[in-house]
Amino acid sequence: MQRSLISAAILSLTALATVAAPSANAAKATKTTPPQAAGTQESSATTQLPRNVRPSHYALSLTPDAQASTFSARVVIAIEVLEPTAAVTLHARDLAFAGASIAAGPGQPVQAATGITLDTALQTATLSFAQPLAKGRYQLAIDYSGKIGSQAAGLFALNYDSPSGKKRALYTQFEAADARRMLPSWDEPAFRATFALEATVPADQMAVSNMPVASSKELEGGRKLVRFATSPSMSTYLLFFGLGDFERATVMEGGTELGVITVRGRLPQARFVLDSSAAVLREYNSYFGQPYPLPKLDNLAAPGRSQFFGAMENWGAIMSFEAAMLLDPAISTEADKQSAFGIAAHETAHQWFGDLVTMRWWDDLWLNEGFATWMAGRTTQRLHPEWEKHLGKVAGRNSAIERDALATTHPVVQRVQTVEQATAAFDEITYSKGSAVITMLENYVGEDAWRDGVRSYIKANAYGSAVTDQLWMHIERAAKKPVSAIAHDFTLQPGVPQIQVSDYACKGGKTSVTLTQGEYSKDHPDRRPLSWRVPVLAKTVGAKDASRVLVSGGRATLALPGCGPVLVNAGQAGYYRTLYAPKAYAALANDFGKLATIDQLGLMADSWALGMAGRQPMSDALSLSLATPVDAAPQVWGRIARMFNEVRYLSRGDKERSARFAAFASARLSPVLARTGWEARAGEPAPVAILREELIDSLGALGDKTVIAEARRRYAASLAGDQAALPAALRRTLLGVVARNADAATWDQLHAAAKAEQSSMVKAELYGLLGQASDPALAQRALELAIGGEPDATVAPGIISSVAEERNEMAFDFAMANLARVNALVDADSRAAFFPRLASGSLNPAMVDKLKAWADANLAAAARSHTSTAVSRMQYRSVVLRERMPEVDAWLARQPL
């Protein structure tokens, strides 16, 4: 490819280095620390790059050509050579180098590189020089060019429809290791540096980066040169650049300009996130005790959606796909509104945990993601208590536990050695277990002590990098409790404690019970349990206060005030499964209606999981659904609906079982839907609106004839012009029922609607619906559509995944038969997760060998964690089908229909 010339407006090496020198404040804030391994060891490095050179500042001049999908660039990097060397190695991927040179500073002799050696496997470029470089400071200049991709990795383009025709916008996505696709750099989190970015762009478009625009100069040919203010010291993966026909709205919060940016015409849909961000920022400024340090914080909505990520916390320029941020009054639901708030809260939390203080290496990724997940949940509950989102922590913890109970799990603080392993680290353990462990530890030390420790940690490590033990040190100092030992048990070793509760006895107004610590495992039940120090809260049913005990050494005895059934993990703050002795469980289940909603959810989650693992009868959890009154909390009925859907899914291969269970589940859920109603009532609680969606979706999946008929009636009425027939609150859910039960004519109608739709968010949603068709022929048409070039490249993989939700073999076999075309739709770094995801829900044991064969042919050993997890899940599911589902059959046979 011919390299386009950089604009004459770009300054020379010496001038650019002078203009783009770090500001006084930025330089003062800089703390550059060599990479070191995470956790408790700091002596051994886990890094791809040599340590003999480190950067302190990047001055980047970028000229993108969106239509040609290419860019040209020049970067001047201020570096420090720590020991004499004749070569400098840095990261680069898919870049073409035109030349490189180095000088000791302005006016000093310039030495051109004598060679540039690329290592595609390590994703590095090594610049060789004839004269060895002595220790000292230098300015390294590189001229290069690269490609603008179609997937969210590096600098990429998104196409979308607008009233004036097809348009294209540019964005960057650099986490975990994709900054090297746009910028030759030390692309590791501990190599923090300041960034001065300038871009030559079309004059009629808006350019966005981490910092505000410092200047803009009109150029010839309808272009302009935009310079951004120099950033504080930060990691490469947080650098951001966006370009397009954008609109921006702002508000001030304290000294920060908050903004939302959308493609033209969609700005009103971002108003909720803008208003919410102001409230969230105010809360975080108070909680962290250190105000947000940048002058502005934008939230950008990128057209469409991606199934690989929803949002990215670039410092000062959070990028989200539209589906994660915008609220379209025609289609958005209460669940969408709450999700948009939660995502904004999560990404804003990263501005401190991740951006201001960055994990030193990917081993400690949980410091970013686990903390942001916890902080978002806490903040959502604090600012919107009416949503009752604190109840969601049971589901989040349950997701982590089910992943953590497989032999293929890993510790929260994990060893990461390669880019592939870093990419695979973004999973339930990092996010949900990390959050659950924080919940437990905060509950153990107290909210005030936890906050004080967090503030101290942030202050001590601002503009620098940290490891997990530094957080524990500050928490322990603030709490004056031995937190580190407990934290190490839950973060440095994998797995899930199981607290076994003995039958209880009451004497003298006190109930005594013995707790024994084991291990909850799904696929290695006979191994010797690991040991944890487990903080436990327990009480008798009806008691006001709970008693606290630390189960250490595997055993503890409690004497609880009052007489009655014992509830362990009261309030559900603990990260463990609770297994009751049969009589103790029966007594607790008999008092199910007396439990707080969060404890009802916890008991149901534990009962179902332990039943699936063969540690207590499957009938226990199913029987709780019979004991639940129609007017129980919406979240409890939502949990029951999800449990029923899991049984439905497991019953797919047995028509008799499937029909019998569907009849039972429909009979149980239909009265709840009748009470909830199809239409929203004025002033109804938000959880009721969400339950309505869940019930209609679940009953539709169960084949409930009444629900399917009503969904079809409303769809037909909407086609006839009755827009009220598909209210925004139910539109997606009702169309999902219609799509699942579509005939060819209906499928064609949905397809035509997807093609004609101008909203990229709605378009992606409609295309995804096409893959939900139960008719195998229509599912096959959806698969062929996905690789046919009609849907955008970021939408097409979602169609294949949609088919895989119910037809794993069909989707996976199709992908294998069309591997080159599917690979073209999925970024190379995402394939290690995409293909196992297609297979992982399969009920067919033969899928294990198919997936392994694909992995053997396509993945390095370091990239197989998603494959291993999918295999473990399929093998466990085979055990459940063989050994647990007969229990479900026997229980169903005893139920009147």
Element (H, E) at 626: helix 618-627
Q: Quick: pLDDT tens for 778-797.
A: 999 999 999 999 998 888 99
Q: What kind and span of H or E run contains 220?
A: none
The whole-angstrom separation of Cα 413 and Cα 362 is 9
Identify the active-site residue in 347, 428, 476, 693: 347
User: Which of 86-95, 706-715, 828-837 has the weakest average pLDDT?
Assistant: 828-837
One-letter amino acid of 233: S
Cα–Cα dist 859/723, whole Å: 49
Amino acid at 615: R
Share of the chain above pLDDT 90, in %: 85
pLDDT score for 42: 37
Q: Is 70 exceeded by the pLDDT of residue 19?
A: no
Look at residues 25, 459, 18, 16 and name the one whose alpha carbon lies nearest to residue 233: 25
Query: For 283-305, what is the mean pLDDT?
Result: 95
The answer to whether residue 420 is catalytic is no
Does residue 44 carry a pLDDT above 80? no
Q: Does 39 have pLDDT greater than 50?
A: no
Mean model confidence pLDDT for the chain: 91
Given this model, what pLDDT does residue 418 score? 83
pLDDT band at residue 588 under the 50/70/90 scheme = very high
In this structure, are strands 70-81 and 53-65 parallel, antiparallel, or unpaired?
A: antiparallel
| pLDDT at position 863 | 86
- Encoded tokens for 625: 């659904």
What's the pLDDT score for residue 751? 97
* Tokens read off for 285: 């400024």
The pair of structure tokens assigned to 226 is 């935009």
Assigned token pair, 438: 């924080």
759 confidence band (pLDDT: 50, 70, 90): confident
pLDDT at 296: 98
Residue 20 has pLDDT above 80, yes or no: no
Confidence of residue 638 (pLDDT cuts 50, 70, 90): very high
| pLDDT band (50, 70, 90) for residue 348 | very high
Is residue 43's pLDDT more than 80? Answer: no
- pLDDT for res 651: 94
Q: Where are the beta strands (DSSP E) in 66-163?
A: 70-81, 85-91, 95-103, 110-112, 115-119, 124-133, 136-147, 154-162
pLDDT recorded at residue 785 = 96
**For range 622-650, the mean pLDDT:** 95
Q: Residue 13: pLDDT above 90?
A: no
CA-wise closest residue to 92 among 143, 53, 36, 16: 143
CB atoms within 10 A of CB 445: 21
- 589: pLDDT confidence band, cut at 50, 70 and 90? very high
pLDDT, residue 862, reads: 83
Whole-angstrom distance, CA of residue 494 vs CA of residue 489: 9
* Mean pLDDT within 395-401: 95
Q: Which pLDDT band holds residue 105 (cuts at 50, 70, 90)? A: confident
In the chain, the amino acid numbered 12 is: S
pLDDT for residue 33: 35
Largest CA distance in the chain: 91
The H-or-E segment that residue 264 falls in is: none
State residue 856's pLDDT score: 95
Report the C-alpha gap between 89 and 48 in whole angstroms.
10
Query: For residues 671 and 689, what is the distance between their CA atoms, to the nearest angstrom?
Result: 16
Average pLDDT value for residue range 841-853: 95
444-466: average pLDDT: 97
In angstroms, the Cα distances linking 108 to 81, 84, 256 are 16, 18, 40
CA 664, chain centre distance (Å): 35
> What is the pLDDT at residue 723?
87
| Contact (CB, 8 A) for 521 and 613 | yes
Q: Give the pLDDT of residue 47.
A: 59
Least confident of 9-23, 372-386, 494-508, 608-622: 9-23
Residue 67: pLDDT band by 50, 70, 90 thresholds?
very high
CA–CA distance from 262 to each of 200, 275, 329, 340 (Å)?
Answer: 21, 15, 16, 15
In whole angstroms, what separates CA 44 from the centre of its chain?
29
- What pLDDT does 40 receive? 36
Q: What is the pLDDT of residues 477-502, one digit of tens each?
A: 999 998 999 999 999 999 999 999 99
- Give the per-residue pLDDT at 648: 95
Alpha carbon 468 to its chain's center = 20
Q: How far apart are CA 806 and CA 784, in angstroms?
A: 17
Single-letter amino acid, residue 95: L
Mean pLDDT of 531-560: 94
Give 82: exposed, middle or buried? Use CB within 10 Å, 0-12, 13-18, 19+: middle
The 10s digit of each residue's pLDDT in 152-186 is 999 999 999 888 889 999 999 999 999 999 999 99
Sole residue written with tokens 């849907």: 791
Report all structural domains of the chain as residue ranges with CATH numbers, in order of start.
13-244 (2.60.40.1730), 352-491 (1.10.390.10), 496-606 (2.60.40.1910), 621-893 (1.25.50.20)
Instruction: Please enumerate in sequence order all residues whose Cβ is within 8 A of that of 144, keeping only pairs 6 or more positions apart, or say none.
Output: 72, 73, 74, 75, 92, 95, 96, 97, 98, 184
Cα-flanking dihedrals φ and ψ of residue 582, to 5°? -50, -45
DSSP-based three-state secondary structure for 150: coil
Q: In angstroms, rounded to a whole number, what is the distance separating the alpha carbons of residues 606 and 52? A: 52
Contact of 714 with 726, CB cutoff 8 Å: yes
Q: Are 493 and 530 in contact (CB under 8 A)?
A: yes
Is there a contact between 610 and 602 (Cβ–Cβ < 8 Å)? no
Question: What would the two tokens of residue 128 be?
Answer: 């060789």
Tokens in use for 238? Answer: 């947080």
Handedness of CA 452, 455, 459, 461 (dihedral sign): positive
